[in-house]
Amino acid sequence: MDAHITPGDVGGTVRAPPSKSYTHRAILAAGYSDGAVVRSPLDSADTRATARAVEAFGGTVDRDPDAEASGGTDEVAFAIDGFAGDPAVPADVIDCANSGTTTRLVAGAAGLANGGTVLTGDASLRSRPQGPLLDALEQLGARADSTRGNGQAPLVVFGPISGGDVAIPGDVSSQYITALLLAGAASDEGITIDLTTDLKSAPYVDITLEVLADFGVDAGPIGSDTAAGADGFRVAGGQRYAPDDGTYTVPGDFSSISYLAAAGAVAAAPDDAVTVRGAVESAQGDTAIVDVLERMGADVEWDRADATIHARRSDLSGVEVDVGDTPDLLPTIAALGAVADGETRIVNCEHVRYKETDRVSAMVEELSAMGASVTEDPDTLTIHGGESDLHGATVDGRGDHRLVMALSVAALVADGETTVQGAEHVDVSFPDFFRTLADLGVDVDLG
């Protein structure tokens, strides 16, 4: 599906979608439990993949009409009957579709099953690195293989593991750590994780620790109060997943909020703003988008008490941004840099090449097609705003939801209509993205 976007002013009030990161963890945590209700989850292609995995391990995931009625007509709630920390051996292959998060988190659960679990997904997912997690599971006593011997899906994991000590790098994917922490609480002995390299994307592990605590599970970093700077992590075994009152509520998603706040900063109508509700303060690293916008000179205000962000059109200036802990913000910041005056340098971004696509090179090529001046080094993306003059073009979203949304933001201020190919991929994290843009006044045609 193509999205045809005509540039123009935006304004109004919209609600942020629920967090994808929290939803994945909450669904699986509820799966590890005897049962729980997850309120306000993101119901998207990626999170449905995690729900299918819970069912493959013997749980059930259903919409809860009673919870929805009590929470309001727009609230989704999942009633999850868990597998109580003892995942069954799946009767079939688990299809993780395009969700790398599902693959990694579920591989940890597969290590607890008394038999073999096969995990696969689409072509993009089958190109992403899983080797360090497979090695970690083998250190814990599982047999964990890539069927092609290249550290990529399809994966085959034979358990059960009982826990123990494991050494793993922290600079490839924080999701490996999350998978081991989630599984470790349900193991007999617990798991102690020794990081062999510095941890990147540390806030995502803080999210995991926050969700675990909300489900009554004790886990924490070693050598630090937070994931950043930790030497490793420890989770005791034999723990029971059980949230207070049997319910857990998912906060709003700051990765998705970044596109809406950016839209306000570059295209809000005079005397108007983009107001985003649901901006609940949490462990999400992508709350950094507020600081990035402020440093670029944007008129942006985050009312934490009211969980609301207001963003108004501003003259932006280029800055340097380290995305070591916030890889999902790279496409948004790149789009902002193409509008800003001066040079925007996005550093510490090599790990962003191993997402749904190589997001560094992809943003270079697609923003260049729109008239931006962009260059790349292995670990740095530079947008030369003063040499950029955005114009309408046909750009390829590369099957990557974050590219589609970031390019749509750039389209708001391009000269002429922009066609973003692969618009349907927003279903991964923000299914109502284009409807939300329309609510803000964007002329968008989904052809």
200 is in an annotated binding site: no
CB-based burial, 178-210: b 16+ in 10 Å, e otherwise: bbbbbbbbbbeebbbbebeeebbbbbbbbbbbb
328 is in an annotated binding site: yes
What CATH number does domain 2-17+252-446 carry, 3.65.10.10, 3.30.1360.70, 1.10.10.10, 3.40.190.10? 3.65.10.10
Residue type (1 letter), 154: P
175 is in an annotated binding site: yes
44 is in an annotated binding site: no
201 is in an annotated binding site: yes
Q: Look-up: residue for tokens 């675990």?
A: 212
Q: How far apart are CA 2 and CA 135, in angstroms?
A: 41
User: Contact at 8 Å (CB) between 261 and 335?
Assistant: no
Residue type (1 letter), 165: D
Q: How far apart are CA 30 and CA 235, in angstroms?
A: 17
User: Contact at 8 Å (CB) between 203 and 322?
Assistant: no
Per-domain residue ranges of the chain: 2-17+252-446, 20-249
Q: What is the pLDDT of residue 76?
A: 83
Closest among 329, 279, 272 to 302, alpha carbons compared: 279
Cα four-point dihedral sign 53, 55, 58, 64: positive
User: Contact at 8 Å (CB) between 237 and 264?
Assistant: no
User: Contact at 8 Å (CB) between 3 and 420?
Assistant: yes
DSSP class of residue 115 equals S
User: Would you state the structure tokens that stand for residue 76, as one six-digit string?
Assistant: 């989704």
Sheet of strand 274-277, all strands in order from the earlier edge strand to the far edge: 12-15, 274-277, 308-312, 299-303
130 is in an annotated binding site: no
Backbone angles phi, psi at 213, to 5 degrees: -60, -40
User: Contact at 8 Å (CB) between 349 and 379?
Assistant: yes
Secondary structure (DSSP) of 361-403 = HHHHHHHHHTT-EEEEETTEEEEEGGG---B--EEE-TT-HHH
Task: Say how many C-beta atoms besides its own lie within 10 A of residue 240's C-beta.
Answer: 14
Task: Give the model confidence (pLDDT) of 180-201 as tens digits.
Answer: 999 999 999 999 999 999 999 9
Q: Tell me the pLDDT of the chain (447 aa) as tens digits.
A: 999 999 999 999 999 899 999 999 999 999 999 999 999 999 999 999 999 999 999 999 998 766 544 333 357 899 999 999 999 999 999 999 999 999 999 999 999 999 999 999 999 999 999 999 999 999 999 999 999 999 999 999 999 999 999 999 999 999 999 999 999 999 999 999 999 999 999 999 999 999 999 999 999 999 999 999 999 999 999 999 999 999 999 999 999 999 999 999 999 999 999 999 999 998 899 999 999 999 999 999 999 999 999 999 999 999 999 999 999 999 999 999 999 999 999 999 999 998 889 999 999 999 999 999 999 999 999 999 989 999 999 999 999 999 999 999 999 999 999 999 999 999 988 999 999 999 999 999 998
20 is in an annotated binding site: yes
Helix (H, G, I), strand (E, B) or coil at 274: strand
User: Would you state the structure tokens that stand for residue 162, as one six-digit string?
Assistant: 């009982």
Q: How far apart are CA 30 and CA 79, in angstroms?
A: 9
User: Would you state the structure tokens that stand for residue 64, as one six-digit string?
Assistant: 């809860």
Q: Do domains 2-17+252-446 and 20-249 have the same CATH topology?
A: yes
Q: How far apart are CA 146 and CA 235, in angstroms?
A: 27
Q: Among all residues, which ones are annotated catalytic?
A: 328
User: Would you state the structure tokens that stand for residue 3, as one six-digit string?
Assistant: 């999205």
Task: Say how many C-beta atoms besides its own lie within 10 A of residue 150's C-beta.
Answer: 12
435 is in an annotated binding site: no
21 is in an annotated binding site: yes
Which residues touch 366 (CB under 8 Å, ≥6 apart)?
395, 396, 398, 403, 407
Burial class (CB in 10 A: 0-12, 13-18, 19+), 378: exposed
Q: Look-up: residue for tokens 């462990």?
A: 283
| Radius of gyration for the alpha carbons in the chain, expressed in angstroms and rounded | 21
Q: What is the pLDDT of residue 63?
A: 86
* CATH architecture for segment(s) 20-249: Alpha-beta prism (3.65)
State the pTM of this model.
Answer: 0.84
